[in-house]
Structures are given as structure tokens and as C-alpha cells.
Structure 1
Amino acid sequence: MTSDFDAAQLVTQIQAWGQELALSQIGVAGIDLSAAEPGLSAWLAAGFHGEMDYMARHGMKRARPAELVPGTVSVITARLDYLPQDTPEGWQAIELQRLQRPGEAIVSLYARGRDYHKVLRHRLQKLAERIEAAIGPLGHRVFTDSAPVLEAELAQRSGQGWRGKHTLVLNREGGSMFFLGEIYVDIALPPSEPVTDHCGACTACIDVCPTQAILGPQRLDARRCISYLTIEHAGPIPEDLRPLIGNRIYGCDDCQLICPWNKFAQRSPLADFDPREGLTGVTLVELFAWSEEEFLRRTEGSPIRRIGHQRWLRNIAVAMGNALRQGDDAGIRTALTARAEHPDALVREHVGWALMRYRESPLP
């Protein structure tokens, strides 16, 4: 049993500890998420989760914290800003300009540094230990995009922000460039006040999506999303979507780059999210040349490693094909030809497609 404590005072103390651990914001949510269940059911029924079978497999457990972790009474939520420390002013425009350089490889901003799962989970565990030291034994479990948790729903309910039309959480002081994490606890804490929606009539994120994956406000068909296609999707990328991927080889930031609220996105004080050498401003040819050993070495401790070398080559091959469609590049053709007989069928198929792009007439 935990000792007696003032719950409201404890939340204030937890928020102070969170600041000391470089967490951007701490909130508290209750565990009754039943109002979110119909929307989750409809999304799954429509097949919008694609190959993310775990989402259907876990079913409504995502919306029922006490089923996922028996004994859970409250959820402590946290967000962690991830823009690198030296991010320049006008970074959104700079990132959008990369899309105009077909031979440059684009890795999503969040994935250029250390794996956020490790960074945020470690800090949340430290926070849980501080709470336990203050009040006595604490039943808890820490999550960071690692289990059937309705993270955005919990974040919204706990005042971290509102759901943008792209489905991501938006914060007035921090835009959307942050990670979310949770601590499920067996103590009753007063929930934080939710904030109101501030998207208004803006549809910039819906309009900019290259594959039109955002079907309407808060309606995302993951099967069309470039982040899903380049990270979660294991097989061949649908041919009709390949040209729309452009030079994005891991993830896609377009809906965040265009969002007006991200002019308030905050730089992280942590060096963990500083970009690794070789992941920013490099050519497709350079990254396509990585052997599996080099891929594993370069992506150690990175979220990119989880897709494996074959999918890495698959993604880059698509981007190379798109670059060739823009105009001939002997370096790209040579690099593709060198992998035309790759032992993996997935890689071979995408390399073959990319080389066929060169044989087609270039875009006007």
C-alpha cells in the first residue's frame, strides 16, 4: 500500500520532476476511454491500419488501460520535444526544399538521431522511481509507442494538446514535433484539463499530403501514408504510390512541415536527437551503397534499424526511380544496376522498377 499523499500536490511535484528530466510537459488522464471505442472500431473495420495487424489483434484493449495493465487507475502522460538543438530558423522551409532535390535522400526528422523509444522510456522510468520514492510502492508500467495504448487520445485528454486534422497532437507552445509516452499507475490522480482545438478552417496538412492519405479531419488511411509505406509495410510498395513517395526514404514530415503551429516547435535540450552523420543532406547513391554490415553499424541505437537492410534498399530504390524520372543520372543508374541481381526478391523487384523509370520519357 502507498502512504497517504495529497494527490493534487503530487501531480505538481511530478510535473517539476518531469522538467528536471527534460520532459516538455506532464499531464494526467483518467482511464475511461470508452468514447474513443466507436472511432477505433470503425477505423479498424475500414482496414485503414493496413498490415499493422497488432492493432486489430489488441482490439479494444487499446482503449481500456485497466485491461492492458490490471490495477491501473490513472495515466501520467508526457511529451518530449525532438527538434535538434541546432535547428535553424526557417527549418520548415529548409526541409521542404529538400523535396526539390531528387538525388538527396530524406529521412524523417524524428529518426535522424537516437531511438526515441530508449530516450523517453528511460526518463519515464526515472520519473516513476521518483514517485515511488516519495509515496511508497507504486504499481506502474511505462510505455512509449510500444504497446496497445491510445497515445494521442490520452495526450489530448490530459491537456498535452488537441488532435490536428492529420491525427497528430498539436500544442500551442510546441507544435507537433514531440514524442509521447505514458506511465500507467495504480493511484488516483486528478486529471489535467484538456485544451480546445485551434486548427480552425485550416486544411494545409490534408492538402499537402502527397498520397492523399488524410481523407478528412482526423481520418487517416495508413495504407497510403508514406511513413507507413516506408517503415511499417513489409512487402512491395504499391506501384501507383511509388511515384508519390519522391525522395523520402524513411518516413514523411510533409503534414508537419506545412502546419502553421510548428513555427512554435521547440528545440530539444538533449543531444540524443542531434542528427547522425550520414542521415542529413546525403545522396541516395551514398546510402544505397551501404552493405548490410554498414547499415547495422550506422543505425545502431537508431529507430531506422528496425526496418532492416532489405527494406532500406527497397525504399531507396523507389526514390532513385523517381529521381531518374526527373532526369537521367549516370551515378544512380550505375548504383541500381549493381544491385539488379540482389539475392532478395523484394530488392530486385524495386530496383527493376527504378531502372524502368529511366527508360520512360522524363517528366516535362
Structure 2
Amino acid sequence: MTSDLKNRLAQEAQDIGFDACRICRPWDVPLVPDRLEAFVAKKRHGQMGWMAERMNWRGNPAALWPDARSVIMLGESYTPEHDPMEVLKHPGRGGISVYAQNKDYHDLVKKRLKRLARWLIADSGGEVKVFVDTAPVPEKPLGEAAGLGWQGKHTNLVSREMGNWFFLGSVFTTIELPVDTAEVDHCGSCRSCLDACPTDAFPAPYQLDARRCISYLTIEHKGPIDEELRALMGNRIYGCDDCLAACPWNKFAVEARELRYAARDELKAPKLAELATLDDTAFRAFFSGSPIKRIGRDRFVRNVLYAIGNSDRAELRIVAQGLVDDADETVRDAARWAAGRLTE
């Protein structure tokens, strides 16, 4: 009975729009607590205080909801149609991570998760909870335990069927379902992702120091960024795809089925000069429905100014100079730094 349910569940997940569906138990990630504790002890979480505050839940999914007996892990491809590294060759334009070049995946994936959860309840009863990067759930270790993929040397999940361009979501349920076999590591001696990192954010394979990661710095880090790191960020203004794009397993990446993941033309390589002039109202309007909106205008413009400072484009100095009296202190600091770099 449960095997038949699992097959029908997988088919429903595919019909809804997911590209992969695997199952594990909430307690199938025994190594997570010690690894998380070591990560936090070394302060590699930076300003993400919630990681330390909710370590018990993130380290032990079974504690998040003790009644859960199965975790349904879903993967959904967002493989880009264009070369995400091309924008880095154009210093007058900003590089935005592929996942943020259109609609917010949190909203889209969560709607699908809820549809699948409603189907499961209608079909078999039980209780469910859905998560997509919205709670302290160790999604990548659970994905590995469920057989979706393995955590590569860049700490992201890699799949033999999808490469590493895919979103993760989970449905916790009180229903006991047959589990899948955990995936094993297929990285071998490859270190392409490690060598691709502009800021050397990997102290060792399978270890990340978020404090040096451009994705963390441009999205999570508040206030000024260390000048040493600013100079290494290039024109990356929201997130960074370098380690993902470098993975050889992307040759197996599947085409994204969701059209709302396709990049908006104006976000593939936007002009830094235009982004820098956005006030709060214009910023909110331009990034309506985008995950970029959540970091706010000030942090975003800070990132844009760092990119301007790295551009070696003298004509952009006037843009930076125009923000040295901005209302936000961090923006003022970034503007002064950028203007100074363009006069050296």
C-alpha cells in the first residue's frame, strides 16, 4: 500500500512541476548537529545569528516536528538558458545570481509544495508541513539522505540528473513512506568549484566560510563590507554563481519547466549607472516579485557601488560621487570608496 502511494506521490509531484521526488526520515541526518556546531563555533555563519539561535532545530529535523515520520524532498530545476558567467566580462553591468533574475522561487515552490501536500492529505490523510528555505530545515543534508543528490565540495547539492541548478523544498508528514537510498559523493578529485571562487571562501573541500562568500556578503551581510573583499567582488551585485557554474555535472542539467524562472532581459546584465540611481520607491517597483526586494534599496545600492568601484570605468565616477551624501551611511561609505578607486 505504501509503495503504491509512493509511486503515485512521485507522479503527482512530477505533474505539479517538480523534477525529482525522494523520501527520507527526519532523523536520517545524524552528522548535521556536530557539523553545524563546528561551523558556528568557528563563526563562519557571520551575521546570520539565527543559525546559532535555532541550532537545535536545524541540527535535528526530528525536533522541528516530533510527529513527522517521513520527509518528502523535492527538486525543481531552474537551469539558465544563457551563460551566467558572461556578464562578468562587462564591468559596466551588474551580475545577478541566476535564481534571482525573475520571480521569487520561494513563492513558486511553496505553492507547488502546498498543492502536493493537499493531494497527499486528500489521498491518504495524515498531517503535513511544507518548507522552502523558510524554517531552520537542513534541506541539503536531507536531500542527500533522500537520494536527490550529494553535497559537493562547494557544499551545494549536486544531482546526477539535474546538475546543481535546482531548488529544494520539503514536505514533512506523519505518514510513514518507503525511503530512498541516500546518494553518495561523486565529486572525485575534481575541485573546479573551489578554484572558481573569487574570494577563496572554501577553507577546505566541503567547508564554507560564509564571511567570505559573495552570496552571503551581497544578501545577508549588513553594513560595510571589508575593503579587501570589496575589491574581489567584481561586478557581482546580488549573489554569485561561480562555483555552481563551474560544476562539470551541469552537463546533465535539465531544462527549467517553469517559465517564471527564465531571466528577465533587464536583469541579465543591468547597467550599474542606472541601478545606482534607484531610490526606495523605484527599487521596490523595479524588483517587485523578486527575491532581491527583500534586501532593501540601501544594501542593494551598496553592492552596486562596490561594482562601480571595481569597474575601472572613469565615466562611472560621477555616479558614485552623486551618492556620497546619501541618507544611508553605508551607501555614503561605498560611494566614497568607489569614487576614490576610480581616481587612483
Report the TM-score when normalising by structure 1.
Answer: 0.92
Instruction: Map 1:152-167 onto structure 2 (within 5 A).
Output: 152-167=140-155
Asked whether 1:299 is paired with 2:271, we answer no
8 Å CA contact 2:33, 2:60 repeated in 1:
no
**TM superposition shift of 1:329:** 2.6
Match for residue 321 of structure 2 among 337, 341, 345: 337
Look up the SS of the partner of 1:278 in the other structure: helix
Residue identity matched to 1:128: A
Residues 71-101 of structure 1: CA deviation (Å, up to 9, x unaligned): 11111100110125xx1xxx4xx33232121
Corresponding residue of 2:2:
7
Match for residue 23 of structure 2 among 13, 25, 28: 28
8 Å CA contact 1:65, 1:72 repeated in 2:
no
Whole-angstrom CA distance in 1 between matches of 2:3 and 2:286: 45
Asked whether 1:105 is paired with 2:94, we answer yes
Match for residue 53 of structure 1 among 45, 49, 66: 49
Instruction: Map 1:269-348 onto structure 2 (within 5 A).
Output: 269-324=257-312, 328-330=313-315, 332-348=316-332
Match for residue 16 of structure 1 among 3, 11, 14: 11
Whole-angstrom CA distance in 1 between matches of 2:317 and 2:170: 46
Look up the SS of the partner of 2:288 in the other structure: coil
Residues 99-128 of structure 1: CA deviation (Å, up to 9, x unaligned): 121111110001001101000010000000
Corresponding residue of 2:128:
140
Residues 185-209 of structure 1: CA deviation (Å, up to 9, x unaligned): 1111111112221111001111111
Look up the SS of the partner of 1:131 in the other structure: helix
Look up the SS of the partner of 2:203 in the other structure: strand
Whole-angstrom CA distance in 1 between matches of 2:330 and 2:266: 24
Whole-angstrom CA distance in 1 between matches of 2:161 and 2:62: 31
Whole-angstrom CA distance in 2 between matches of 1:35 and 1:316: 39
Match for residue 178 of structure 1 among 153, 156, 166: 166
Look up the SS of the partner of 1:180 in the other structure: strand
Asked whether 1:65 is paired with 2:61, we answer yes
Asked whether 1:78 is paired with 2:63, we answer no
Asked whether 1:241 is paired with 2:225, we answer no
Look up the SS of the partner of 2:21 in the other structure: strand
**TM superposition shift of 1:289:** 2.0
Whole-angstrom CA distance in 1 between matches of 2:109 and 2:84: 25
Residues 146-204 of structure 1: CA deviation (Å, up to 9, x unaligned): 11000000000001011110000101111000000101111111111122211110011
Whole-angstrom CA distance in 2 between matches of 1:278 and 1:13: 40
Whole-angstrom CA distance in 2 between matches of 1:265 and 1:334: 42
Whole-angstrom CA distance in 2 between matches of 1:83 and 1:272: 12
Instruction: Return 5+ residue gaps in structure 1 as ranges.
Output: 1-5
RMSD between aligned residues? 1.2
Look up the SS of the partner of 1:42 in the other structure: helix
Residue identity matched to 2:32: A
Look up the SS of the partner of 1:300 in the other structure: coil
Match for residue 138 of structure 2 among 135, 140, 150: 150
Residue identity matched to 2:237: I
Number of aligned residue pairs: 343
Whole-angstrom CA distance in 1 between matches of 2:70 and 2:60: 12
Match for residue 121 of structure 1 among 110, 117, 122: 110
Match for residue 187 of structure 1 among 135, 150, 175: 175
8 Å CA contact 2:87, 2:268 repeated in 1:
no
Report the TM-score when normalising by structure 2.
Answer: 0.97
**TM superposition shift of 1:66:** 2.7
Whole-angstrom CA distance in 1 between matches of 2:184 and 2:138: 19
**TM superposition shift of 1:277:** 4.0
Residue identity matched to 2:33: E
Instruction: Return 5+ residue gaps in structure 2 as ranges.
Output: none
Higher deviation after alignment, 183-192 or 95-104: 95-104
Percentage identity across aligned positions? 40
Whole-angstrom CA distance in 2 between matches of 1:14 and 1:140: 14
Look up the SS of the partner of 1:103 in the other structure: coil
Corresponding residue of 1:3:
none
Q: Deviating runs (4+, > 6 A) in structure 1? A: none
8 Å CA contact 1:206, 1:215 repeated in 2:
no
Residue identity matched to 2:343: R
**TM superposition shift of 1:247:** 0.3
Look up the SS of the partner of 1:313 in the other structure: helix
